[in-house]
Structure 1
Amino acid sequence: MKNPAQGKAYEVVADRIRNKGPINFDLFMDMALYSEMGYYTNETPFGMKGDYYTSPTVHPMFGAMIALQLCQMWECLGRPDPFTVLEIGSGNGVLARDVVTSLKASNSRCIDCLEYFTVDRIYPTIRVDGTVPLMPDHLSNLQTTGVVFSNELLDAMPTRVIEIRSGRIHEVMISLDSDGNLVEVLSENPMEELESLNIIANLPSLEGYRGPLSTRLNDWCRSVSSALQTGFVVTVDYGMEREEYYSMDRSHRLIQTYYRHIDNLSYLQHVGDQDITAHVNFSYFRELALLNNLKSLHSTNQRDWLYDLHFEEVLNVNTDGEFTSRREVALVNRLVEQEGLGGFRVEILQKGLRGICYEDLIPTVKFARDNFRIPPISVQHMAAGLSRK
């Protein structure tokens, strides 16, 4: 009799192990999330009915802030036509819809030059008015001027997991015990290919340390760079710098799960029924980006970034108009809560630009007020569940 705690993707994983032997965590995570029985393939994980919420699903205010940043970036790039925005990991299109709607309502003529492409592994053909779906393998065909944006994408990228034993790097594998339960086993031999490639040269010899190691991140940076001739990359996600990442305080704590609003259950249970994510090593991310001609322009958190875009000013202007309840204002403020979404990291990269600095991306208060427009709340937003009284 099937154990419901195993999850709906259990058989997909178990069959692969029975046929081929133990698998690395990268493949396990890929099947648990993206296979035909995977979490993202069959669930609606975001929002009030999901396991967690993201900034775009909280309130259309987030999409309006992104639209404002795009307007300013368009100005910095000399008002290119076309101006290409590439959203990778666009999901069901809620952010794309909010951004395009906001740009259409603004005073900026950015919308007249806009080409907005959406890329998503689970929703590859979903079409939002004013956008064009694009297959991931077509990115290199763009070679365009514009902005690449992603929100909570890198943390969902399947990753390998390593553990330090006797000063050597071993890989954590997933296998089956005699009762058919998923279990962790360590590779018998050290991962010499990683040690010889010096991928994690700064990892101290922390006996017993366990954490993720993304071997797909370089390919992602290469793909993004191939799509962008000139412009910016904006990545919002959660993670930390190398010094904190590779520490015993973070050992065994960098892989997270979300199941029915409960976090950090074992990822070997509820396979396909719960989300699995890995914190991002942003030091490593910037290094790989630079190797692919994407130079770091600014590292900050979401709270400070939105404040730089005059979050407080436009919020105060709209409080008496767009927002019709205190509960809605409180919900909007979740976007800047330091212990929540506001603490997420924001990495801004640039390619092909000289003499540009982060301050150039900050609009004036007048520009913000002239071009900031909040789209209507839809059923895809958590705000739709509020009583607007």
Structure 2
Amino acid sequence: MTPLAAIIAQRIRATGPITLADYMEICLLHPRHGYYATRDPFGAGGDFTTAPEIHQMFGELCGLALAQAWIDQGRPAPFTLAEAGPGRGTMMADMLRAIRVVPGMANAAQVALIEASPHLRQIQRDRLGPVNHLDHVGDMPDKPLFLMANEFFDALPIRQYQRVEGGWAERVVGLSDGGLRLGLGPAVQLSRDGRPGDVVEDCPAAPAMVEAIARRIAARGGAAILIDYGGWNGLGDTFQAVRNHAPENPLDHPGEADLTAHVDFAPLAAAAIRAGAVAARLVCQGDWLVSLGAAQRAERLAAAGDAGAVAALRRLTHPDEMGHLFKAIAIWPKGAPPVPGFDALRLHADHA
């Protein structure tokens, strides 16, 4: 049993089973034993590899997409260039390098990183130098906002509900034979249909965060690009753990494995629209990167001696790799041109 497992077990003995949301928050953010508080989880030496760690072209293309949105909106200055969940700071470094080719943009950008982990904050400072770290998206300055969030929403705590006779029951973490086990709480009412055994997930924090981001963009201008694995109006149990680049039971090693769930983009788009902004139609990451010129960028890098560029392109864009597993949406103000590679969502027509 890990040190954090013992702490969780003690809490359950004292107060009863806990929700999956509470379990995820403890496992990821406990100040002494939490996953993000104690390690650098990225890359070959960690537990998983994100797109910015695969190749520089990912962050460069993201930065240039935001740059075109900045130009299309009249080059507002100053503006906030933000990233939610910036990891090692790799993508922000690549975006900053890319936007330096856009006259006036780098000087107008004021970088803000939304990061809860003190450990990762230090890694980001080492990579980027002095930066403005924020605890919450609501803390961002009252300026035009251009924001990237890659594999950020998948780590937000979720709640799960399973269809049972008489309604739905929340899935909770309890104890059995001295170990952590999933069980069911009392029946509750949800405005969802389902068959016995069906599981649905809810991430209450995600729409609230998107609404705050979209409200700032609607009022002050800017754009946001959100990339994650997931889908639209998802159904099923997607709660998962990754440790040493391999999947495992999420209850086996609390605090020592990354815990995530697939992102349901439908409530995120609805939150953006509710805040008065435009939300994009959901697209696959691979299709979006190709529309931005990823293939041509990889060819130029390969010709300049980058031996890994072509393989990285395949991993980022091919349907059998990350290309279709990861999805993307964008947010921009009403009346502004779409963010490059996206079309506006016609909610009832596209996703009735």
Quickly name the TM-score band, shorter chain normalised.
0.7 to 0.9
Q: Which structure 2 residues correspond to residues 198-217 of structure 1 after superposition, within 5 A?
A: 201=191, 203-217=192-206
Q: Which structure 2 residues correspond to residues 230-245 of structure 1 after superposition, within 5 A?
A: 230-242=221-233, 245=234
Instruction: State the distance in 2 between where 1:360 and 1:157 align.
Output: 26
1:269 maps to amino acid: D
Percent pairwise identity: 24
How far residue 120 of structure 1 moved from its aligned partner, in angstroms, is 0.6
Query: Residue 330 of structure 2 is aligned with which of 348, 351, 364?
Result: 348
Q: Which structure 2 residues correspond to residues 109-188 of structure 1 after superposition, within 5 A?
A: 109-122=104-117, 123-124=120-121, 126-127=124-125, 128-129=127-128, 132-137=131-136, 139-140=138-139, 142-177=141-176, 179-188=177-186
Instruction: State the distance in 2 between where 1:85 and 1:184 align.
Output: 41
1:18 maps to amino acid: R
CA, structure 1 residues 16+59, in 2 after alignment: closer, same or farther (shift >3 Å)?
Answer: same
Answer yes or no: is the 8 Å Cα contact 1:117–1:131 preserved in 2: no
Post-superposition CA distance 1:330-366 (Å, at most 9, x none) = 1343111223322210111123x3152356879xxxx
1:222 has 2:211 as partner: yes
Instruction: State the distance in 2 between where 1:119 and 1:355 align.
Output: 26
Answer yes or no: is the 8 Å Cα contact 1:12–1:37 preserved in 2: no
- Where structure 1 has 5 or more consecutive residues not aligned to the other structure, the ranges are 1-5, 196-200, 363-389
Answer yes or no: is the 8 Å Cα contact 1:169–1:191 preserved in 2: yes
1:257 has 2:241 as partner: yes
| Structure 1, 339-348 or 286-295: larger mean CA deviation | 286-295
Q: Secondary structure at the match of 2:337?
A: coil
How far residue 313 of structure 1 moved from its aligned partner, in angstroms, is 1.8
Post-superposition CA distance 1:287-313 (Å, at most 9, x none) = 223223332133211111111111112
Instruction: State the distance in 2 between where 1:284 and 1:137 align.
Output: 19
Query: Residue 60 of structure 2 is aligned with which of 56, 59, 64?
Result: 64
1:49 has 2:45 as partner: yes
Q: Secondary structure at the match of 2:81?
A: strand
Q: Aligned pairs, how many? A: 335
CA, structure 1 residues 318+260, in 2 after alignment: closer, same or farther (shift >3 Å)?
Answer: closer
Instruction: State the distance in 2 between where 1:319 and 1:32 align.
Output: 41
Q: What's the counterpart of residue 188 of structure 2?
A: 191
CA RMSD of aligned residues (A): 2.2
CA, structure 1 residues 57+103, in 2 after alignment: closer, same or farther (shift >3 Å)?
Answer: same
- Where structure 2 has 5 or more consecutive residues not aligned to the other structure, the ranges are 344-352
CA, structure 1 residues 313+331, in 2 after alignment: closer, same or farther (shift >3 Å)?
Answer: closer
* Higher Cα Rg, which structure: 1
How far residue 70 of structure 1 moved from its aligned partner, in angstroms, is 2.1
How far residue 233 of structure 1 moved from its aligned partner, in angstroms, is 1.4
Instruction: State the distance in 1 between where 2:340 and 2:83 align.
Output: 23
Q: What's the counterpart of residue 71 of structure 2?
A: 75
Instruction: State the distance in 1 between where 2:319 and 2:106 align.
Output: 32
1:37 has 2:29 as partner: no
Q: What's the counterpart of residue 20 of structure 2?
A: 25
How far residue 180 of structure 1 moved from its aligned partner, in angstroms, is 1.6
Instruction: State the distance in 2 between where 1:333 and 1:303 align.
Output: 9
Q: Point out which structure has higher relative CO (alpha carbons under 8 A, 6+ apart).
A: 1
How far residue 139 of structure 1 moved from its aligned partner, in angstroms, is 3.3
Post-superposition CA distance 1:22-59 (Å, at most 9, x none) = 11110001111111212222232211112211001111
Q: Which structure 2 residues correspond to residues 321-332 of structure 1 after superposition, within 5 A?
A: 321-323=304-306, 325=307, 327-332=308-313
Q: Secondary structure at the match of 1:208?
A: coil
Instruction: State the distance in 1 between where 2:3 and 2:28 align.
Output: 11
Q: Secondary structure at the match of 1:268?
A: coil
Q: What's the counterpart of residue 87 of structure 1?
A: 83
Answer yes or no: is the 8 Å Cα contact 2:292–2:341 preserved in 1: no
Q: Secondary structure at the match of 2:70?
A: helix
Answer yes or no: is the 8 Å Cα contact 1:167–1:205 preserved in 2: no
How far residue 112 of structure 1 moved from its aligned partner, in angstroms, is 2.3
1:347 maps to amino acid: I
How far residue 167 of structure 1 moved from its aligned partner, in angstroms, is 4.8
Answer yes or no: is the 8 Å Cα contact 2:226–2:330 preserved in 1: yes
CA, structure 1 residues 299+322, in 2 after alignment: closer, same or farther (shift >3 Å)?
Answer: farther
Q: What's the counterpart of residue 294 of structure 1?
A: 277
Post-superposition CA distance 1:224-277 (Å, at most 9, x none) = 2354421211100010111xx22xxxx33x1121121221x2211111111111
Instruction: State the distance in 1 between where 2:2 and 2:44 align.
Output: 22
How far residue 18 of structure 1 moved from its aligned partner, in angstroms, is 1.9
Instruction: State the distance in 1 between where 2:210 and 2:102 align.
Output: 33
